[in-house]
Structure formats: C-alpha cells, structure tokens
Structure 1
Amino acid sequence: MNSAPASADRPVHPVLADVTARITARSAPTRETYLARVAAARRQGPARAGLGCGNLAHGFAACSGPDRLALRGATKPGIAIVSAYNDLLSAHQPLGEFPAWIKDAAREAGGVAQFAGGVPAMCDGITQGRPGMELSLFSRDVIAMATGIALSHDLFDGALLLGVCDKIVPGLLIGALAFGHLPAILVPAGPMQSGLPNKEKVRIRQLFAEGKASREDLLDAESASYHSPGTCTFYGTANSNQLVVEVMGLHLPGASFVHPGTPLRRALTEEAARRIVALSQTEDYTPLAHVVDERSVVNGLVALLATGGSTNHTLHLVAIAAAAGIQLTWDDFADLSAAVPQLARIYPNGSADINHFHAAGGVQFLVATLLDAGLLHEDVRTVAGPGLSRYRREPVLDNGSLTWRDGPARSLDASVLRPADNPFTADGGLRMVTGNLGRAVIKVSAVAPEHRVVEAPARVFATQAGFDRAFRAGELDRDVVVVLRNQGPRANGMPELHGLTPALGVLMDRGHRVALVTDGRMSGASGKIPAVIHVTPEAAAGGPLAKVADGDLVRLDADAGRLEVLVDAAELAARELTDTAPDDAAWHGTGRELFTALRRAVGPADQGASVFGPVTPEHFGAPATVGGAR
C-alpha cells in the first residue's frame, strides 16, 4: 500500500493521555494474559502445515486446480472468508459478489482464500417493535460464536470479515479476537445512495403517529428512504460501526463509505484480499491482537464521540475491548466526551446523511483534524501499516489502478463537518447520568439545551404496546417522564425502542416537557428527545427502576449528570419490586425460547451486556500472573 505521509510527533491531549493510561493500568493483568494466549497460538508458516493428513485432506477435498495444490502443499497462506451475506438485507446483499473477487485476488497475491463460514445478520429495522427484536442484542454474541466456529478448523493464517450492520461488526470482531494471533481485516459493503431526506421521513412518521397520514403514505416515505442495496444512510449503529472500526485501523483507509456496485468498491475489496495475504507473512505479520490495543480502542471511542455516533457502542466497544483483555468503562466514555468536540452533524444529529458526510471530507478529514488537535493516538498499528496518519489518505482509481492520495485539507461543507478548532459543540454529547435510579447513558448531541433538564410526573410502562395505547388515548398529552422498564438484557434481550420516538416527538412539539427513562436501548435514533437509556442495574435484576410508580416526580438533569426519582429514600427502599421480567415459560415465540440460556447468562449493560462473562485473567484461561509481551 502507499506509505503514510511524514508527520511530526504531536503531543496528545492530556485527557486522552490520562484516560488511555488508566485503561492500560486497569487492564494490565487481563491484557497481558490475553497477549500471552495469543503468543502461544502463533505459528510460523501456514497453520495447516501441522495438521494430520486426514485433517488436511478434509480441508481441501472440495477444492480444485491451483488452490487444491496450494492447500495440499501447505506453503501458501490460507485466508478465511467469514461473511454476513444474505439477500434479505440491503446492507449485506452486496457481499454476495465479494468471495469470488477475494479468491481471485488472494490467489494472485500468493495465497488461497476459502469461504470458511457464514454468520447470521438480522435487521433491527425489520424487527423494530416486534418480538424478534428481543433477539437482536443476543445475535451479537451468536455471531461471535459463529465466527469462532468458522475459524476453529485451524486451517487459516488470516481472516477477512465481511459485515456491516448493528450487531454484526461487533460480533465478527469479538469472535475474531478469540483468534487474535491471526491478522484480520473488516470488509464493508458501503451505503446506499441518498433517498428521501431524513427530515421529511420524520415528518411523515409523526403525522402517522397522530393519525394524520395513512399507512400508504408512511410506506411510500419509508420505501423512498430505504430503496436500494447498501447500508441505510442515517447515522445509526451500522454507519457508526464503519467509522469506528476504520479509525481503529481495521478497514483499509477510506473503505467505509464507498457505494456498493462501483469499481472503487470492488478495487478496495480485492486490495483487502491482497493485503491480508501480506499481513499473514512473517515479514509483515500483524495479528489482530496487536491492532486492537488500548490506544486503538480509545481512537475508536474518540471518533464515535466526535461524530455523535450510536449509543449502542457504549455496549459494543466495552464488549470488543473485553475480548482483547481491555477493561473499558462508562467513565472513560464520559471523560473523553467532555474533552472531544462534536465535529459532524449527521442525522439524527442534523439533516445530512452519511453520504453528505463522506462528500464533505468524511473519515479522512476527521482523522486529520483530530490528529492535528492531539485527540487521536497516531502511534498505532493498523491493517494498512504502522501509524494512523495513513488514514488521512483517500482511495481513488487512477487509470483503473487503486491508489491513495491526500484527503481534503479542509471541510467541503462546514454545515456537515468541521475542524477541531471550529466545532459544532465543545463536547461529544454523550453523557453518563447517576442517581437513586442507577447509572445510565444519554446522548444530548441532538437535544436542544432547553430540553436537557426535565422534571415531571412519571408514567410507567412495562411494554411498548402499553405506551402506544396510552398515547393514542391521549393520556400522555402533558409534561411526562415516560418510564419503560423491563427492557434490559436480562428481562427480554434489551430491544431497541425506536418505535417510541415519533409519539414522543409529537408530545414535545405540542410544547410539553418530555423525557424517556428506560433500561432498554435507543441506538443512534433517539434524536431530539432526552432519552435516558441502558439504566443499570436493570429492573429485572432488582434495580430501583422497578420501584418507580405512576405520578412519582422524576428529575433528569443531563447537564449535571443526575437522574433521580424525587421520593423519600426510606419510602423508596420499602417499596416492592413490580413488573418483574417474564419467566422462561412466558418468553417464547419467534425463536425466543432458543435464547433462554443467553438471557440467563447475560451481564449488565455497563459491562457490555455480554454472555461471555466478566473480564478477568481466568476468562482467558490463565492466572493473573501469566505475562506476555506488550
């Protein structure tokens, strides 16, 4: 690949340095244990060379021609393709073409690529408000396990991970980190072209919620928004995934937001195949475990905050870091958010979509201005080579050949993307709130300052359907804090609650003081409504949210970071828990009964809502005293 531009050493921002240092210190036992395990798994030369003849024969029985000879000879690197392809979902449909391109390019580069396994990919847009949404978060850990199964054949020297959306990219990465001795590159498919403007889509949704637009009107608007292959263009978790992992150095530079079906997208996919072959060789060996370290995790978090990305990453980044032996906490998010300026306005934090962001300078300008401000670590390893400065450069086709050139030196649209010295706001807009209801997350980047402090009577619900009935009956047409509980991971898998947004927006537009408090999720789509989410401990685990009653005054002060029910402490302590989670027998239908074991095992939101357990040295199969090269 093109070499990185020369850059002088830059001091990092003191908050960035402090947060990174404390993550490193906190994680020292688990990180070193993880790296020791990775070092033990490393083999010189192709991994399959150590297999027995019967094992190896099974590995190339379906191959022919030069690939069969290469695999039999055990001299060329073997590359695993793990893909979330399906033709149901627009974001993943383009991935169907990629394996053939990858196999040809890997062969030309001196390797051999095999489709090692597929992983499930469900769409939160389809399951929104439906029982299937209760499997959504669990699908991340299922994807991680499926990735592990694909790589467990011990035939591979590197992996290409093909996926895009919400739980898919974190799941692929968590699974691959269990094989951290292997180099790995994430391969995206890119966003669809821009459709109906987001502001108009929201307007139609709110009209439908009020009964002022028909189902046909709503379907016309939705299908004009989601209209072709590629990722949805709003800045939810799918596009946050792409931006975060690129800034972590896990994509080729500039790969995130190139449209599917274009020559440049194909060229980037083929280059990923060539690059993974190179990374698996002794001279360029770059294992995934050395790319995902404390500094790259902090870089991904900074990129998320600087762009107002999805709150789902308060779960996913914690879980990804844990898979690499790194202990990331919500306090790290909060402290970095206070120091990282918001540099992008992408819907729901503005009217622009991800294509407008990309056209304005995109990831390359974002990386450049954050590096210049000392808000990213430059001294990291990436799949493109050492140093994050490589990600200042953007890919182009020059007479049909892929090359990289310097990205834009200034934003091409200051209404969408700005430099660090002229931000939209001075902080990242993601805050933690605490109080007698527990700890929670709130994203204020799209919430007007006058709506960030709300004190109003609670109206408590245990289901989205109950909220919908009350709204349609006019029972919420007042100042209100909607408390929707038993939506946490242990209760019902922590579904996203986007379906509440239009109705809450209607109430706000009528002049009411409105807030949402829930142990469920809202992703990147909470928008203008002050939504306190991921409340921990959740109601189903005995959290105080289960003691709130209709009419209790609830006070949210997002500026001060406080969330409280204004009830005497003794009275609150004496109250019984209500609306307990459904028992196993009641949690069934749409496949939910198949996930009961995960529901029992899942951890709290502030630990990533993972089924894989806490991050301890024992988690990685070794005592804390085991050391490893850092």
Structure 2
Amino acid sequence: MRQTLMLNPTIDRVTRRIEDRSADRRRLYEERMARQHRRGVHRGELSCGNLAHGFAACGAGDKNSLKLMNSANIGIVSSYNDMLSAHQPLEHFPELIKQAARGMGCTAQFAGGVPAMCDGVTQGQPGMELSLFSRDVIAMATAVALSHNMFDGALYLGVCDKIVPGLFIGAARFGHLPALFVPAGPMPSGLPNNEKSRIRQLYAEGKVGRDALLEAESESYHSPGTCTFYGTANSNQLMLEMMGLHLPGTSFVNPGTPLRDAITRYGTEQVIRNSEQGGDYHPFYRQITAKAIVNAMIGLLASGGSTNHTLHLVAMAAAVGITITWDDFAELSTVIPSLTRIYPNGQADVNHFHAAGGVSLLVRELLGAGLMHADVKSAFGTDMHAYTQEPFLDGDQLVWREGARESLDEEVVRPVARAFSPTGGLAVLDGNLGRGVIKVSAVKPEQRRVEAPVRIFDDQSQVKAAFEGGELDRDVIVVVRFQGPRANGMPELHQLTPFLGVLQDRGHRVALVTDGRMSGASGKVPAAIHVTPEAVDAGPLAYLRDGDVVSLDPDNGELRALVDAAEWASREPAICDLDHYHHGMGRELFAGFRQLVGGAEEGAAVFGGFDAADLPGGHS
C-alpha cells in the first residue's frame, strides 16, 4: 500500500517558486516543442530522395518498415568508445536495440555518436580544460545526430560526467520525441576505497613510489563499467532515475550480464510504447517538468552527490525552460536528510549501495516522508511509486518486484528516521569573496569551519611544488584562482586532494577556495568551489593577497576575507597571463567557447539563455 505523506512544505514552496520564476520561458519551450510535434510523423515530411538516403544502408526488412509511417523508428545516440571503461560496454547495445525494435514491428537506427572524455584520464592535464566544454559539444552533437528528422523516439546511451548532461540538453531540444536513457552500469568492486585513498596520500608524501600507486589505481579501475565511487558519473545515474528517465532500479546493474541486456531490450520496447505509433505518446518535454528537476535536486542532496551538478543541473533545467538557482539547492538542503555514505562520503561503493537497497530504497524513504514529488509521469509509463521496484529475470522474462523495504546495511544507506544528517550534503557560500558551493557530506563537522591565512596560486601545479617544499605545513587556506570557465574552461582540481588531505591529517586547519571545480570525488577537506564572479572577470578572488585571513564557514553559509574595507577598496585586481592555458592539445579550438560561456551559477553554458533569449530582458 502506498504510504506517501503530504509533500514537505519547503519542497512545495521551492517548486512553486521555480515554476513561477520560469513561467514565461517554460511556456515558450512547450509551445516550440508542441509545434515540432504537430509536423507529424517526421520521415513522412521527407521527400522520396531524402527518405531513400535515410534508409539506403538498411536491410530489406527495415527498409520496408521505414517506408510505412505507422511503425516507429528509434534513433540511437551513443557515447561509445572502447578506451573508456564506462562506455566500452555500449558497443553491443545498438544491435540489442535493433533486434528488440524489430520484435515490435519497428526499427532503430544508430543516429550518431557523441564524444566521451574521461576526467580520470585528464586530471591535472591540459585536456581537463576541455572537459566542461565537452558537455556543450555533446549537446550539439546530439542535435546533429537527430537532425535528419527520421525518428519517432530516441534512446540515449551514456554514463559519465559531461556525457549525460550533454545528452539531456540535446534531448531537450528534440523534446517532442519520447526519450529514455540507457546506462551501462558500474564495474564490479575492486580495491577498497579507503586503501586507494591511503596509497594516494602515501605517494603524495613520497613514502611509496609510482609503481605502488599505479598498482593501486589499476586494482581500483580494473574492468569495463563505470568507476564505482560516487562521483559525477554515478550521480548522473541516480538523478536520471529520480526524474523517471531510466527504467526503475536499473542505474547500478553491472554490465555484461543477462539482466543488463534484458533491461536494454525492454527500454527499446518502452520508448516505442511511448511513441505516437505505440499509442501512448509521452514526449520528453511533457515528462521533464519543474517537479522532475526538483526530484533530481533532492536525489543529489539526499545521496551527497557531485558538486558538478550545481553547474550541470542548472544548464539542464535551462534547456527545458526552467530556471533554478543555487539558493534553491540551499533551501532544499535544509529539509533533505543525508541518507547514504558512499565513497568519498564513506567507504562503500555504488555496488554496496545497490546491494544494501539502492535507489529503490532511497525513493521509498523519500516518498514515504513526503520528500519528493510522486506525481511525475516517468518514461516507464507510471508515476514515481514504481521506482520503489527493482528488475529481475524470471526465466527469460524481465519483471519488476518491490525492492528492499529496509536497509540491508545502515552504514551505507539509512531510513529517514535514522539519517546520517538531518540536512543535505551541499551548502551555498556567500560573502565579500563572491558566491560558491561546498560539499559538506564528506567533511567532519569539526573540520568544516576554517579561518586561516591564504596562500594564493594561479595554477594547480604550483600547489604541488609548494607542498613538496614544506611551504604549506601550517594552518592554511589554499586559493587557486583563474580556473573559471572563461579563464581556462574550469578544470577539476581533484589532484590537489591528496596534498591537502596530508596537511589535514597532520592536524592543520586546511581548506581550498577556487573559481574552478573540485569534482564529484571531492572528499574530506572543505573546498569552496565554483566561486563566482571568477577572477578573470575581476571577481573578488583577484583582490586577495598572500597572508590575508579568510573565513570559510559552511554552517552559516559564509565565505569572507577578513580584510579592512579601506585596504580592500585600495587594491587593484591581480592579472594572470592565461596564454599557456589557451594553446596546445586542441585548446585553441575552444576560444569561442571561452568568450561565450556564462558564469558558474548560470550553469557555465555557452548557449546563452536558450529560450530566455527571446523574452523581454533575455540575452543571448
């Protein structure tokens, strides 16, 4: 029996505020998607020559189906490549999808591929400066893939950090099509996360060599599938499920298993059922409402997910005509309890989380406490109550049954009544240094507030040199500036974590402040990130000087330089020669992106305001 309580008043208030704020741009978005839909079966709009080009490579059976306008043709957009573990399993998905479509008397075509880069490979390298921009490239590549106008629905195959947000943004511009996202699943568990972290810190201190570090990393990232820590990639999967864009309980099923293949086939059948030809037309634009976006925010907060989504979710919401702000995250965080401990917030990985109850238990707890919207119609064809279920194989048949009703390991996932913390895992910071965000779920309460002199760097490599030279062996707030989207594409600074962790373990009060990113893998050291306005735009970080005392206080939402007002007013902003960030490894090709990109709180997107550009006061 359903036992959903009345919706929490704070969630109701925030949702209504988002709906009111977004009313004009959302109405324009829906009108445009409805216009696209009214054009009818899309390949029916093509000339005979157009259509012949569209199915020239197909077999005779598929050609005959495509000539008929009463069968659905599903476009496949995939981030497959065979270098990256998360995307390698996608190699075989298109054939499974095509077979499943034929079984429904329909067709599927591989519409196009999108780039998929890995932040784990590019950490600390020049390629990381293309990482955030790759999200918007993926969105554009998705639009190109679907531009042939041959499709009645779409399946989006992707997992990792920028890929899912990019696919989502692209899907939003083809929102008249039914959509379903198809994950690959996590690799099996490898080296325990606490051991991996220990080896990294020993290497940072020079106590073990590169051979030991490489062996530990290889045992952690060891097979096809998504990395198992709870970073941006796995936050993507949980949020998609919370929005109803995955089939229930499917985010963390391992690749290469009969269950995973059955899920992929069923997803194909479901998107066909959601097409006009399937008789229950349910397009993306009607599904992804403000309530669905709020559910994603709630899932992120309840699970202590990636800080990157204070950028990505803002951009994703904008793509469907919805405006969310960091203040919305902050207010929701006051009522959303922290229900999971998954590395880096704990020692368990996503496989342990899935086994202990996983997303189905998380949804059950949130619904039962009135802490999420139940009335979102999902791509599964139901409201969100169905997402308390999990998939199983009954012989060869895929079925769903109720998932765990209580946690099988309360060190990993807990009920609302015994939450790890009464509030969510993210906080917004404000003060005379600008605005930023901080992930507090992995930071011990006694280590969250730091007041200390700053040491300023304009490049993350300088931090390593200072650490190795003993210059940071004290209470210190490390400031790494000129790392924002306009300066150099906003790279993640995750390689700083071991050095800062060592200083903290030595008993020092330590924190990081940056206009760059610290990734979904940010851990035990308090890090004020995404600080905006960024230094390259003469934001407040550009006025800091070595030795200034800064107060970082996430419990009170403050980020402040304790500098005399007259002294502060007399300073000129620091200037950094950014030329070395802009050339080599393809970075010169993204000069236009650096000029167009918006600020962090606006999602750091290069597309301007989407439909907001057409409204009074909008911009492009």
Does 2:136 align with 1:141?
yes
Q: Distance in 1 between matches of 2:330 and 2:610?
A: 21
Q: Which runs of 5+ in 1 are unaligned?
A: 1-5, 626-630
CA contact 2:334–2:423 (8 Å) conserved in 1: yes
Q: Which amino acid letter does the alignment assign opposite residue 530 of structure 2?
A: H
Pairwise CA RMSD of aligned residues?
1.4
Q: Offset at 1:526?
A: 1.7
Q: Offset at 1:399?
A: 1.1
Q: Distance in 2 between matches of 1:110 and 1:573?
A: 71
Q: Distance in 1 between matches of 2:489 and 2:347?
A: 31
CA contact 1:438–1:536 (8 Å) conserved in 2: yes
Q: Which amino acid letter does the alignment assign opposite residue 49 of structure 1?
A: G
Query: Residue 296 of structure 1: which of 254, 271, 292 is its match?
Result: 292
Per mean C-alpha deviation after superposition, the further-off stretch among 469-478 and 6-15 is 6-15
Q: Which amino acid letter does the alignment assign opposite residue 32 of structure 2?
A: R
CA contact 2:168–2:316 (8 Å) conserved in 1: yes
Does 2:143 align with 1:130?
no
Aligned counterpart, 1:172: 167
Aligned counterpart, 1:219: 214
Alignment partner of 1:573: what SS? helix
Does 2:42 align with 1:47?
yes
Aligned counterpart, 2:559: 563
Q: Offset at 1:45?
A: 5.3
Q: Which amino acid letter does the alignment assign opposite residue 561 of structure 1?
A: G
Alignment partner of 1:527: what SS? coil
Query: Residue 315 of structure 2: which of 310, 319, 334 is its match?
Result: 319
Does 2:166 align with 1:208?
no
CA contact 2:65–2:105 (8 Å) conserved in 1: no
What's the TM-score, normalizing by structure 2? 0.98
CA contact 2:303–2:425 (8 Å) conserved in 1: no
CA contact 1:57–1:72 (8 Å) conserved in 2: no
Q: What per-residue deviation string (whole Å, max 9, x for no partner) do you get for residues 4-40 of structure 1? A: xx63664100111000000000000000000000100
Q: Offset at 1:576?
A: 1.3
CA contact 2:79–2:115 (8 Å) conserved in 1: yes
Alignment of structure 1 residues 325-474 onto 2, 5 Å? 325-474=321-470
CA contact 1:455–1:553 (8 Å) conserved in 2: yes
Q: Which amino acid letter does the alignment assign opposite residue 360 of structure 2?
A: Q
Alignment partner of 1:160: what SS? strand
Aligned counterpart, 2:94: 99
CA contact 2:126–2:581 (8 Å) conserved in 1: no
Aligned counterpart, 2:539: 543
Aligned counterpart, 1:308: 304
CA contact 2:597–2:605 (8 Å) conserved in 1: yes
Q: Which amino acid letter does the alignment assign opposite residue 97 of structure 2?
A: I
Aligned counterpart, 1:628: none
Aligned counterpart, 1:576: 572
Q: What per-residue deviation string (whole Å, max 9, x for no partner) do you get for residues 216-258 of structure 1? A: 0000000000000000000000000000011110001111000
Q: Offset at 1:575?
A: 1.1
Alignment of structure 1 residues 10-29 onto 2, 5 Å? 10-29=5-24
Query: Residue 238 of structure 1: which of 216, 223, 233 is its match?
Result: 233
1:28–1:581 distance in 2 versus 1, CA, 3 Å: farther
Query: Residue 179 of structure 2: which of 176, 179, 184 is its match?
Result: 184
Q: Distance in 2 between matches of 1:624 and 1:531?
A: 35
Aligned counterpart, 2:511: 515
Q: Offset at 1:569?
A: 2.0
CA contact 2:486–2:594 (8 Å) conserved in 1: yes
1:468–1:586 distance in 2 versus 1, CA, 3 Å: closer
Q: Distance in 2 between matches of 1:274 and 1:471?
A: 55
Q: Distance in 2 between matches of 1:90 and 1:586?
A: 28
Q: Offset at 1:71?
A: 1.1
Aligned counterpart, 1:77: 72
CA contact 1:110–1:277 (8 Å) conserved in 2: no
Q: Offset at 1:386?
A: 3.0
Q: Offset at 1:577?
A: 1.3
Q: Which runs of 4+ in 1 moved over 6 A?
A: 622-625
Q: Which amino acid letter does the alignment assign opposite residue 541 of structure 2?
A: L
Q: Which amino acid letter does the alignment assign opposite residue 224 of structure 2?
A: P
Q: Distance in 2 between matches of 1:521 and 1:134?
A: 11
Q: Offset at 1:521?
A: 0.5
Q: What per-residue deviation string (whole Å, max 9, x for no partner) do you get for residues 86-127 of structure 1? A: 000000000000000000001111221000000000000000
Q: Which amino acid letter does the alignment assign opposite residue 481 of structure 2?
A: R
Q: Offset at 1:586?
A: 5.9
Q: Which amino acid letter does the alignment assign opposite residue 372 of structure 2?
A: L
Does 2:473 align with 1:477?
yes
Q: Which amino acid letter does the alignment assign opposite residue 529 of structure 1?
A: V
CA contact 2:29–2:611 (8 Å) conserved in 1: no
Q: Distance in 1 between matches of 2:3 and 2:521?
A: 39
Q: Offset at 1:44?
A: 7.0
Alignment of structure 1 residues 485-524 onto 2, 5 Å? 485-524=481-520
Q: Distance in 2 between matches of 1:56 and 1:86?
A: 29
Alignment partner of 1:440: what SS? strand
Q: Distance in 2 between matches of 1:23 and 1:163?
A: 28
What's the TM-score, normalizing by structure 1? 0.96
Q: What per-residue deviation string (whole Å, max 9, x for no partner) do you get for residues 574-625 of structure 1? A: 2111143615x86110110111111110000000000010255435xx7799
Q: Which amino acid letter does the alignment assign opposite residue 316 of structure 2?
A: I
Aligned counterpart, 2:104: 109
Alignment partner of 2:334: what SS? helix
Q: Distance in 2 between matches of 1:439 and 1:595?
A: 26
Alignment partner of 1:396: what SS? strand
Q: Which amino acid letter does the alignment assign opposite residue 489 of structure 2?
A: G
Does 2:164 align with 1:163?
no
Aligned counterpart, 1:89: 84
Query: Residue 150 of structure 1: which of 132, 141, 145 is its match?
Result: 145
Q: What per-residue deviation string (whole Å, max 9, x for no partner) do you get for residues 540-577 of structure 1? A: 11101011110001111111111111112232122111
Q: Which runs of 5+ in 2 are unaligned?
A: none
Q: Distance in 1 between matches of 2:512 and 2:266?
A: 46
Q: Which amino acid letter does the alignment assign opposite residue 576 of structure 2?
A: T
Alignment partner of 2:555: what SS? coil
Q: Which amino acid letter does the alignment assign opposite residue 140 of structure 2?
A: M
Q: Distance in 1 between matches of 2:91 and 2:520?
A: 27
Alignment partner of 2:417: what SS? coil
Alignment partner of 1:117: what SS? strand
Alignment partner of 1:290: what SS? helix
CA contact 1:30–1:624 (8 Å) conserved in 2: no
Q: Distance in 1 between matches of 2:535 and 2:612?
A: 30
Alignment partner of 1:284: what SS? coil
Q: Offset at 1:421?
A: 1.4
Alignment partner of 2:154: what SS? strand
Q: Which amino acid letter does the alignment assign opposite residue 301 of structure 1?
A: M
